Structure 1
């Protein structure tokens, strides 16, 4: 079981469904939900910074929406790298999108931390694939 999964999406229904699926599958001890990239960056800056002593934990897995107000997925990824939060080797990021444009998918290739993209909402098969491929779990 993972320690922490983070969902970053401005759609409450998507967050509810994804969180419920992850809970039913017993993927993680804890699941945190953020409604935009800015809220998530603020949390992760505390939780994942080198030498930072915080009661907040750095996640094992992040599901990140591409299109959001306040701070979209690409701005989040840029800020994540700028703040050197990607130095934590174990964090895996998966992109979620309702409309994957060719341009967006090409742009994702610039981010080594992003391992894959999925259409919203997650399916049991998607989650099993992530766990098998990146966390050596069935």
Structure 2
């Protein structure tokens, strides 16, 4: 299995439980040694990143290296999440790669994502093993075993 420096956890943020399940399996099947955390709301994802709410006292949990973020979610959507994410202290977002992962075919969403510097890339669902491997290779350094 491959291992990457600073890629301890992939955070899946999507209100659809079955989509999170499928994306978890895809990440696991890439044979990259990484924990996967599935979260169904943007607000809960912010709590996870800041160790607040139900994630208080979880500072020892694996830190997210990649966030796959859906746009269309009830309550706080992906854009709302990004607005709050920008306000976070650097210690909560250091070395996190945010990937907008959506079914949206609206070209305005892709243009908007391109203007948000915290969003590394914009992908259409479903996630696939090649896309995940490419992101890991591009943004993280592989730890070579001796």
Q: TM-score band (shorter)?
A: 0.7 to 0.9
Are positions 1:110 and 2:95 aligned together?
no
On the 8 A contact 2:20/2:38 being kept in 1, the answer is yes
Aligned counterpart in structure 1 of residue 8 of structure 2, from 3, 7, 27? 3
Are positions 1:39 and 2:44 aligned together?
yes
SS in structure 2 at match of 1:60: strand
SS in structure 2 at match of 1:54: coil
TM-score normalised over the length of structure 1: 0.85
TM-score normalised over the length of structure 2: 0.81
The count of residues paired between Structure 1 and Structure 2 equals 133
On the 8 A contact 1:86/1:113 being kept in 2, the answer is no
Q: For residue 29 of structure 1, report the CA deviation from its aligned partner.
A: 2.9
Are positions 1:23 and 2:40 aligned together?
no
Alpha-carbon spacing, 1:24–1:75, altered in 2? closer, same or farther (3 Å):
same
Structure number, greater radius of gyration: 2
CA RMSD of aligned residues (A): 2.1
Instruction: String of CA shifts for 1:51-102, please: whole Å, max 9, x gaps.
Output: x982234311110001111211000011111233576431100011102312
State the match for 2:140 in structure 1: 135
Q: Structure 2: any 5+ residue segments left out of the alignment?
A: none
